[in-house]
Amino acid sequence: MITLNGIQKVYRSGETDFIALEIANFTCSKGEMLAIVGESGSGKTTLLRILGLLDNFEAGSYQFNQQETAQLSAKEQAKLRNQEIGFVLQTFGLIEDYTVKENILLPAKYLPRGERAAKINHLAEIAEQLNISEQLKKYPRQLSRGQQQRVAFARALINDANLILADEPTGNLDSSNSQRVIDLLKQEHQKGKTVILVTHDQAIAQQCDRIVGIKDGKINENRHFEKE
Ligand SMILES: Nc1ncnc2c1ncn2[C@@H]1O[C@H](COP(=O)(O)OP(=O)(O)O)[C@@H](O)[C@H]1O
Ligand SMILES: [Mg+2]
């Protein structure tokens, strides 16, 4: 599903360039549940943002379903992102003026009318599973951080995307809500979805099919963590 080759991401600050990511080769197969682990600042979010077509890169090739993403127009990229990718951002990215329900339904906004209606039922189901049914009419500021995180997660699930990218989705949750989120990701995985999960929690990483280590912006095949 995903193939990266020779990817380089550079952040420029004044005169100096900082290479945030340098990935020789990375692949993720359809249906895989993969954990990316690494210290803070190692490039995990940068990698996930590139995979989610939220950021560009300086060099290299990113193929999504055998399609070279750089060859897609901005509009085609947006369509791909919207239909194929569900993203749980580390910073949630909720819209303050929208209710919880409106936030969750945001990715469904551009669907045909009939499909959008079906999402309302799906919404009730997801909200129940994530324990936020009581919060649907509230605004993000009225929620705890843990609840906000679960809203962001519900939004990633609403369009039934084939690829779910989750950036430390349990970072702000207590252990019971944290396991609830992981169970939901596993459930999506069992439905055949591809899941890429960033975490620094080894207990969570161990629940995935494969663990990939990242350090100083580099994935090293030799640094793949052994599953216990
Ligand atoms: N927008 C940016 N401008 C400049 N440097 C950045 C930017 N975003 C991230 N970085 C730097 O790139 C490196 C990787 O960041 P990030 O991908 O957020 O790491 P992680 O998610 O693993 O904590 C860090 O050193 C960070 O300071
Ligand atoms: Mg990060």
User: Residue 220: its pLDDT value, please?
Assistant: 67
Per the listing, tokens 């551009």 go with 110
pTM: 0.88
Closest C-alpha residue for ligand 1 atom 27: 41
User: Residue 223: its pLDDT value, please?
Assistant: 46
Q: Which of 91, 99, 90, 87 is nearest to 141 (CA)?
A: 99
Q: Which ligand is nearest to the CA of 168?
A: 2
Question: What span, in angstroms and rounded, lies between the C-alpha atoms of 43 and 152?
Answer: 21
User: Residue 222: its pLDDT value, please?
Assistant: 47
Closest C-alpha residue for ligand 1 atom 9: 46
Question: Probe ligand 1: pick from 8, 12, 18, max atoms within 8 Å of CB?
Answer: 18
Residues of the chain with pLDDT under 70: 220-228
Query: Which contacts of 173-178 are long-range, i.e. CB under 8 A and separated by 24 or more positions?
Result: 173/146, 173/149, 174/146, 177/131, 177/146, 177/150, 178/204
User: Residue 172: its pLDDT value, please?
Assistant: 72
User: Residue 198: its pLDDT value, please?
Assistant: 94
- Assess contact for 166 and 185: CB atoms under 8 A: yes
Q: Which amino acid is at 123?
A: L
Ligand 1, CB within 6 Å, residue ranges: 11, 18, 20, 38, 40-46
User: Residue 123: its pLDDT value, please?
Assistant: 94
User: Residue 226: its pLDDT value, please?
Assistant: 55
Q: What spacing in Å lies between the alpha carbon of 92 and ligand 2's midpoint? A: 12
Considering the chain, what percentage of its residues have pLDDT values greater than 90?
63
Closest C-alpha residue for ligand 1 atom 25: 41
